[in-house]
Every structure is written in structure tokens, then in C-alpha cells.
Structure 1
Amino acid sequence: MAADGTDPFTPSLGCGFNDWVCYGQEGVARLIGQACKAAGNFIGDMLTNSFLGAQASSGDWDIAGSHFWFWAAVASMLVVGIGAWQVSVAVILQQPGRVLQVLAGMVAGVILSVLSLQWMPTIVTAMSGITSQLTAGLNGEAGIGAAILNVLGLGQGPNGVGYEIQSASPTWSIATVTSGGVNVIGPLLLALAALGVIAFAAFLLFVAMSLRTFGLIALVAFAPLGLMFYGQPRMKDMAMKWGQLALGLLLAEPLAAGILLLATNIAASTTSSSMGLLLTSAGIIFVAAFSPLWAVKFVEFAAGEVRTALSHSQWTQRQGSQTVSRVGRGVGSMVRRLAR
């Protein structure tokens, strides 16, 4: 019952007329083979759409804009109420500087909110375009999705519809390994297991990039709640958190693309086995799927370090001024004693 078909995912075992065991094995093998093909097509879809299909459309930004103005109206009432109270107290206490500070903070919050609505779609589109051009130029492929598909041995299907496993792919090599020319189910199960792991990783990457896009749209929609309170000292952290999250999500796409690009370049020169290459690819896709979380955490860490450095600098300046003041007082005291 040796496989005599050229396609390992549609094996033909040349069963005899009444060899029902052979027919059963052939049916199971073909079922697993079709599952392998379906998994390959799913992987191709997920990896390609992670950087193309997960992008926000103009309609998405329009929806974000409509929600933006609703929350802007809500936040404006709160900001005006709080600001009026603070201005009244400052006027009673005769603190003109405090009045100017409150008014400047309110104006700054409005400007930041409107700029986020106007500039965020442009920045996101520009970031995606730069990422695509850099990865395409460095890898010589149509894009990062095409690069990783090339490593996995997945190509366009007939007439450009769907994706299929290529004959030179690692999965094809695993599926064609038979035990004494008899067992075709075992290698197909192994190939299906490897494709299943990669499919799950690719699905996570697609979900992560989709959530990144949704997160950026949501940040624009709810920007007034975070940015219009920028002038309030106790609520300034909300604006800082908004900025950190926005910057982290913007950096997530080039970070994921960079991880996959590095992986494809390394895989092009690797001498590992077919199974090793597939599992390594799955692991790298898993890593890339968590790039939004890593980018946000990195931005938060960097912002914390900057704040620490600034506070340390201010502390140093205060200590220096106090030291100079002490030295000045000491010198003055000595001069007065000498004058006596």
C-alpha cells in the first residue's frame, strides 16, 4: 500500500478491490491532507492580513471623529465647570498667575485633543507606509507577509485565489517522509500538528494587529477624556497615559514587522530540519504577536526613566542653590566679622 500520488496531501495507495483497510487508510490520509491544505490557506490569510487587512479605513476614522465630538462636549462641560471654580478661587485670593495657568491649561487641552483627531490618521497611515516600504526594500519581497510566507513555503493558489503549500516547502518535505513506503498517515499528522501551531500563532498576530488598530481608533474617539484635562495638575497623568499608549501602539507595527523580517533573513540561511524551521517560525510569530504589549511597556518604562531623570535634575538644582545660598551666607558672615 505505498503511496503513488505526486501530491502527498492527496495520497493514492493503489488499494485492491476488497482491501477495505487500505481504503480506510487512504480516506483518513486524504482527510488529514485536506486539513493541512486548509491550515496552509488559513496561515496565508492571517499573515497577509495582519499588516494589510488590519489597517483602519477612512470610514473607521470618521466613526472615531463622531464619537470624539460627543466626548468633547461631555469633557468640555466638566473642564469649564472645574476651571470656573478654580478661577473664582484664584480671583478671591488675588492670584492672577493662577488664573492665567488655569486658562492656559484649558486651551492646551483643547488644542491637544483637536490635534489628536486631525493628526492620528495621518500618522498611522504614514507609519504603515514606511514599515511596508522598509520591509519590502530590505527583504526584496512584496511585503513582510510575503516574506514570511516564502519561508513557510506557502504561495498563491490557482488564479491567485487563496494560498497553497509549495512542493519545496518544509511542510511538503515532512508529509513525503514515509515509514518503509507504507505509513502515510503519520507524516501527515506531523505536518498537520506543525501547521496547527503556526496557524494559532498567525491568528494571534492577526488579532494583536487588529486590536492595535482598534486601540488607536478608540484613543482618538476618547481623546477628550484624557487630553482636555491636561491643565489640571492632579489629572495630568491621564494625558500622559494617553500619549504613552498612543506611542506604544504606533510602534507596535514596525516592531512586529522588524521581528518577522529578522526571522525571515535568518531562516533564509539556516540549515535546520524542516520541523525545526516550522517550529522556529511559529515561535517567532508568537513573539511578534505580543509586540503591542512590549511596545507599550517600553514606552512606559522610557517615560518613567525620563521623569526620574528630570526629578533628579530638579533635586540637584535645588541642592545646588541651597549650597550656594549657605556659602553666600557664610561668606557674608565672615565679611561682617572682619569688618568689626
Structure 2
Amino acid sequence: MLVVNKVVITSVLPAPTLVLTLQLLVAVIVVLGGDALGWIKVDKLEWDKVKKFALVVGGFLGTLFANIKVLQYANVETFITFRSSTPLVLSVCDYIWLGRALPNARSWGCLVLLLGGSVGYVLVDADFRLSAYTWLALWYAFFTFDTVYAKHVVDTVQMTNWGRVFYGNFLALVPLALMTPVMAEHHTVMAVVWTPGKALILLLSCLMGVGMSHASYLLREAVSATFFTIIGILCKVLTVIVNVFIWDKHASPEGIACLMVCVLAGTFYQQAPRRQQQPLVVSIADSGSSQLQKLGAVDHASLGGRSTSSGRISSNGQAADGGGAAAGGGGGSHQLLPEKQSLLPKTSSNQIASRASVSSGNNNR
């Protein structure tokens, strides 16, 4: 996709905003057409989901536009290497906002090596352009926000994957279509001499955009934000090889060596697991009846004071045999003996309620 976009911008239609608009429009048409034919299922527009996707669209548009501008002013290796440094920042974002643990020592080493390869490339880059690096810095900010927030939305908003594709492309198409006339790219379009080959390449970039959008949302759902980015970096190996044979404006051998260091580090990265929430464990070995009373109050509140077929928990933490009392015309309460409590050093409130009910039923027999 990166190579095809580069060809489109440099050789077919040097109008980045118009190219993005066409790609989004084709994606919307393809998705709605598939839904109308019954081939796929697409979520309808709902205001609550639109609000949640609004910031996704902002990050998506900013990332795409900065991406196109980077490809317009810099070589492909420059873009790939800067992208290789983003996992170091995203791993911290995963920990702060997305519930992931911090990387282990091996993964931290890989992330630092990724950053070192990126810095090494900048130092040996023979095609340094201030305008290109300005757009890269803007892309960096948009990309980080888009990756983190999009992962949050995918995890929290229930939608079909094609629904996500539709929302993302349709909501981005509206402001971009309004922006296209302002960019005054119609002069560029009028100057283009169209051939079947050029039209085919442009159409190919649009269809690949649909596939990329669908695959990226599936991948976001399956892995962490950091690992999502690293997978994208590893996929760029083929891009580098193709780029070397297509354009003469590629990186120096030293720069490509730094890029390979980044790819090698990404290969050995291990995804950080989700942080485990510690379950509430209550010890009643040393607390006696006061702790039992507290646990009984919790269960009584959760059960709403209702009796069950086997019994209920009274407000003072005792197990009252409601069923037996009703059947026998009376009945008493049965409290867990201290020696029984000592055998349960770590017991949850639900377990206490259950054991109390069993004990009550046995006594009625």
C-alpha cells in the first residue's frame, strides 16, 4: 500500500487530498454495496457511535494527510524508520490507558534497539530535508493518538468489523470532501494526461485501501496498540526491497543497515500481557465474628434480603434457615462455629453464604 501510494502521488495524480478523498469514497461505496447485496453486515449510523468515532476520524485524517505529505517530500525509508520508533512511546501508552503491563526486559531491549536504529538512520541520512522532518513530527503526533484511541474504541464499542470500516471511512470522507476544493488541486488534475495504466493504478490504490482498512481493524482488535505498530513495521521489509528497485532516491547503505536493525529488534519483541486485576481476598482467621458480620451484610445487600430455597443471610452475618422455619412453624439461626472459621483462612463472602445454606439444610434433616 505504501509503494502504491508513492507511485500514485509521484507519477499518476500529485494531488494528495484528492487521492485520499477518492480512496475513502471507494471504501464507502464498496462497503455499502456489499451490505445491500447481503454479502457483509454493516452497522447503521447511530449518534452514540458517531460521537465515539469522531476522534478516531480526527486522528485517522491527520495521520493519512501527514503520511501523504511525508511521501511527497521524503523517501520511503525515512518514513519507515521514524515509524519504527513509535512502539517505545506506545508501550507506555498501553500501560497508562489500555490496561497492558509494561514490557519485559527483552521487549524493552527490543524497543530501545528500535529507537537506536531510528536515530542512527537520521544521523546517516543523505537526503535530510527540513520540510520532510516537519511533516514527520506532525505525523508522529497524529499516529500515536490515532493508534491508542482507535484501540480503545475497538475494545469498548460493540460493532461488526465492516461497520468500523464504514464509520471510519464515511465520517472521514465528509470533512475531506469539503477540504478538497480549498486545496486548489483542480489545476493539477486538469494537467494530468490520463492513460488506462494510470487509471488502473489509482483504482488499485483505492481497492487496497478498502482491504487495509478492514485488516487493520481486525488486527487492532486482536493485539495491543504497541504490537499492532510493530507488526506494521515488520511488514515494511518487502516495501524496502521493492523501493530499492523502483526509485533511485532511496537511503544509503548505512541507512538501510540501521533500518534492518529496527526490523530485527521488532522481530524479537514480545507482546505485553494485560494487567491482572487482583481479586478481593478476605481473611477471617484472626478477625472473628466481626469480619463474618461484615461479609454477611455484603451478601444480604446483594441478595436484597430475599430468601432462597435453601436459606438466606441475615443482616448480622448469620445463616437463617427460612425454608425450615416456614415448614416447621419456627426455627433458629445457625452461625458458623469458630473452629470452622479457622479452617477457612481465605474465604469469599459468596462461599460463606453457600456453606451456611448447606449447613442449615443438613440440620433440618
Indicate whether the TM-score tops 0.5: no
Q: Normalising to structure 1: TM-score of the pair?
A: 0.21
Q: Normalising to structure 2: TM-score of the pair?
A: 0.20
Structure with more of its chain in helix, by fraction = 1
